[in-house]
Structure 1
Amino acid sequence: MLIPTEPIWIERADQLAELCVGWRQQGAIAVDTEFMRTDTFYPIAGLLQIGDGKGCYLIDPLAIADWQPLRELLLDGKVIKVLHSCSEDLEVFQRWLDLVPSPLFDTQIGAAFANLGFGLGYANLVKTLLGIEIPKDETRSDWLQRPLSQSQLKYAALDVAHMLVVYGKLLQILKTSQRLEWVKSDCADLVEQARAPDHFDDAYQKVGFAWKLRPQELAVLRQLCIWRETQARQRDIPRNRLIKEPSLWDIARKKPRDLQQLQQIADIPQRTLRNDGETLLAITKSQLESEPSTWPERLDPPLAQSEGPLLKALKQFVRDKADAELIPAEVLIRKKEYEAIVRSGMKGGDYRLPERLKGWRYTLIGEGLLQVAQDCKL
């Protein structure tokens, strides 16, 4: 089968609208994006690639004004949008078009369930399934420059040229192994997660060594993290350009009362000290004076060594199941989910499963994990 790989440049709204009419008659289209995110919080769309099996279309986000036909295509429930490792692409679409493409099929997830490898890159997937080498020499290109170079155009086209063929081969493998519904479920979860509104209230829990802080200090850290998340978005700058997490942790621990003390905190950018120093001090002061009833509870420390045997038994159970199913263990459970199971039974109650292990994973590993945990408790 001859796969067209020549890039077809689209920079007019009428061209795009006509193409979208045809694409909505297809069962699936290949989709990819190129974007820039060097100095901004949000990704800036530099290029949209769509492959339909007949051509590789490179659509210019900087030239077209009317995106309604594309919006309707990306939300058409009858057209599967095929992407690879799509989490960043979904961010691009949310920022650019205020939508999450659906339904979608992530070929990286499909490849994992097809036992081709966990976290497999697109070029390696194409080589594995089709024996075709794809160059990756434009990964860090400037996708906002115009005109794009011939090398960039070729690279972008190849990112979607083979995707539908790869998709077809993955479907065959997944249907034979009866795992297609698992992949569909995980891909639907990606869409749901991407559509979920942002909540910053628990951002402090992800800060390194936050578990070492007392409740009052955690109250300070929580509010500082909310401020950072909100301001990074409003100003459209990277979080760390505003202030890094270790600096927030140090403010919460040392509780500076004035600018002189704040300046002693390591790694706060001078611009942030100048423009936001008083705000950081005010946030700190307000939380130090807040009611103790509003403070967060202390966070759990890392698991104790005594929990090691249970953790080891849970991991061994999943490895055995994964080996029997010929799939990577990583697609079945995440590291933090092992820890959640262990912690759920540490206060004397029954062990509980994280929400993600209550779907199709329950029959495969969830029920067994609970049994292993209970057996280790006896």
Structure 2
Amino acid sequence: MADEFHVIDSREAYDEAVERIEGGSGPVAVDAERASGFRYSQRAYLIQLYRRGSGTFLFDPTMLGGFGEVQALIRDEEWVLHAASQDLACLREVGLDPVRIFDTELAARLLGMPRVGLASVVEELLDIKLAKEHSAADWSTRPLPQSWLRYAALDVELLVDVRDRLAERLAEAGKAGIAEQEFEATVRREAKPPAAEPWRRLSGIHALRSPRNLAVARELWLARDALAVEADVAPGRLIPDASILAVAKNLPESKRALADLKAFNGRASRTELDRWWAAIETARTAEPPATRVPSDAPPPPRAWAARNPEADARLRFAKEAVAEVAERLEMPVENVLTPDHLRRVAWHPPIEPTAGNVADALAALGARPWQLEATAQIIADAFVRAAQSLADAAHEAS
């Protein structure tokens, strides 16, 4: 490993890197560092790449015009990423888009490893300890300190070796095919569409009941978001969610009352006081939001017993059955079948609870073929047992 790392931030250095990458062979390890919690955007501020025979490359995407040459060179190679779903969006934003991947974090989950963070996986497989002290750093900082660059380089320099060890374990466990399906699903998964009313994701908003309180929360959120975009600052660094909720609950009647509210804090709470007060005044005359938002999602399972006892029984019996499959496969339950998929099928079951019908319903939600093979029949059987259990209980009660 080099004693000093250099960031590639010019086209000349970029072109030299492309030549070196072309001279390497095998899978390409890729990682990206963002500035979550510091900046508004989720763009990449550093992109790391490693290939055997080529070396390690640290690119500054904010200074480079694009990555077309790198993409053309490695597009059809296997890309090795750790927790790929976290990085694919910001990589695609600069034109880096893999055809096939090997996700080392997902592989570790499928193998039932107790800890799946990169440092833990590296330590277990390679007996090397990685320091993770810069994982939450502000990667928009310039220039980037050498200690940060060293940390970033290690994130990819060991990744191909980790991939090889995990591939061996997957083959030994008979899970190589499962992993391939999961990796392909990760690459093909479409990004979620933006929320129609993103302000409703405010932490603690469920505590607000009246339209007036919700209107204040909405307008403050919108005002904060506009300022965050303008300044490219994480919204919570201006005023935290808790401050917005405090104002929405207290409904201050004047700008002075807003300034005097101790729970209203954050670095922009007083410097932008006019902005926040204008938002509150807008809330007084704006169309109030609905207290409830229509959704096709089932209600929280805790309400099922009262609202839909049949669905509650289906879910309880099916969860037990899927948990047994997870134990047999030695992997987390959520990897055997997405919990939301099971809840939706339990709430809206097929008319005939056959394995084929359950499989069709799960496939429509995005379940992979291996998941259908592992769970469709046992879920169908669980639904039948649930119905019989309710029938027996009703018979005994009569």
TM-score (normalizing by structure 2): 0.71
Distance verdict in 2 for CA 1:15–1:205, change over 3 Å: closer
SS of the equivalent of 2:228 reads helix
2:395 aligned partner: none
SS of the equivalent of 1:287 reads coil
Does 2:318 align with 1:319? no
Equivalent residues in 2 for 1:134-149 (5 A)? Answer: 134-139=130-135, 143=139, 144-146=141-143, 148-149=145-146
- Asked if structure 2 preserves the Cα contact closer than 8 Å seen for 1:337 and 1:354, the reply is no
For structure 2, list consecutive stretches of 5 or more residues without a partner in the other structure.
Answer: 391-398
Does 2:367 align with 1:358? yes
- State how far apart, in whole Å, the 1-side matches of 2:216 and 2:285 are: 8
- Asked if structure 2 preserves the Cα contact closer than 8 Å seen for 1:35 and 1:47, the reply is yes
- Asked if structure 1 preserves the Cα contact closer than 8 Å seen for 2:223 and 2:275, the reply is no
- Asked if structure 1 preserves the Cα contact closer than 8 Å seen for 2:18 and 2:70, the reply is no
- Asked if structure 1 preserves the Cα contact closer than 8 Å seen for 2:58 and 2:153, the reply is no
SS of the equivalent of 1:320 reads helix
- State how far apart, in whole Å, the 1-side matches of 2:217 and 2:184 are: 34
- State how far apart, in whole Å, the 2-side matches of 1:142 and 1:266 are: 27
2:48 aligned partner: 49
Equivalent residues in 2 for 1:142-161 (5 A)? Answer: 143=139, 144-146=141-143, 148-149=145-146, 151-161=147-157
1:105 aligned partner: 102
2:335 aligned partner: 331
Equivalent residues in 2 for 1:25-104 (5 A)? Answer: 26-43=25-42, 45-61=44-60, 64-69=63-68, 72-73=71-72, 76-93=74-91, 97=94, 100-104=97-101
Q: For residue 162 of structure 1, report the CA deviation from its aligned partner.
A: 1.9
- Asked if structure 1 preserves the Cα contact closer than 8 Å seen for 2:30 and 2:48, the reply is yes
Equivalent residues in 2 for 1:111-126 (5 A)? Answer: 111-117=108-114, 120-126=116-122
Q: Percent sequence identity over matched residues?
A: 21
- State how far apart, in whole Å, the 2-side matches of 1:368 and 1:64 are: 54
- Post-superposition Cα deviations, 1:215-248, rounded to whole Å, max 9, x if no partner, equal 7866775676566556534442222234444454
- Asked if structure 1 preserves the Cα contact closer than 8 Å seen for 2:21 and 2:51, the reply is yes
- State how far apart, in whole Å, the 2-side matches of 1:69 and 1:355 are: 35
Amino acid at match of 2:17: L
- Asked if structure 1 preserves the Cα contact closer than 8 Å seen for 2:31 and 2:155, the reply is yes
- Post-superposition Cα deviations, 1:125-167, rounded to whole Å, max 9, x if no partner, equal 1222223333434445665343633x44443332222211221
Larger Rg: 2
Q: For residue 335 of structure 1, report the CA deviation from its aligned partner.
A: 5.1
- State how far apart, in whole Å, the 2-side matches of 1:123 and 1:375 are: 44
Question: Which of 197-206 and 48-57 deviates more?
Answer: 197-206
- Asked if structure 2 preserves the Cα contact closer than 8 Å seen for 1:210 and 1:218, the reply is no
1:276 aligned partner: 276
- Asked if structure 2 preserves the Cα contact closer than 8 Å seen for 1:111 and 1:125, the reply is yes
Amino acid at match of 2:273: L
- State how far apart, in whole Å, the 1-side matches of 2:125 and 2:28 are: 19
Distance verdict in 2 for CA 1:31–1:358, change over 3 Å: closer
- Asked if structure 2 preserves the Cα contact closer than 8 Å seen for 1:100 and 1:195, the reply is no
Distance verdict in 2 for CA 1:98–1:215, change over 3 Å: farther
- Asked if structure 2 preserves the Cα contact closer than 8 Å seen for 1:8 and 1:57, the reply is no
Given the alignment, which residue of 194, 201, 204 partners 1:198? 194
- State how far apart, in whole Å, the 2-side matches of 1:165 and 1:8 are: 21
Question: Which of 52-61 and 8-17 deviates more?
Answer: 8-17
Distance verdict in 2 for CA 1:148–1:211, change over 3 Å: closer
Q: For residue 329 of structure 1, report the CA deviation from its aligned partner.
A: 1.9
- State how far apart, in whole Å, the 1-side matches of 2:364 and 2:226 are: 28
2:160 aligned partner: 164
- State how far apart, in whole Å, the 2-side matches of 1:110 and 1:194 are: 21
Does 2:127 align with 1:131? yes
SS of the equivalent of 1:362 reads helix
- Post-superposition Cα deviations, 1:2-42, rounded to whole Å, max 9, x if no partner, equal xx677663534334334335646744201123444453222
Distance verdict in 2 for CA 1:100–1:216, change over 3 Å: farther
Distance verdict in 2 for CA 1:254–1:73, change over 3 Å: farther
TM-score (normalizing by structure 1): 0.74
- State how far apart, in whole Å, the 1-side matches of 2:179 and 2:100 are: 12
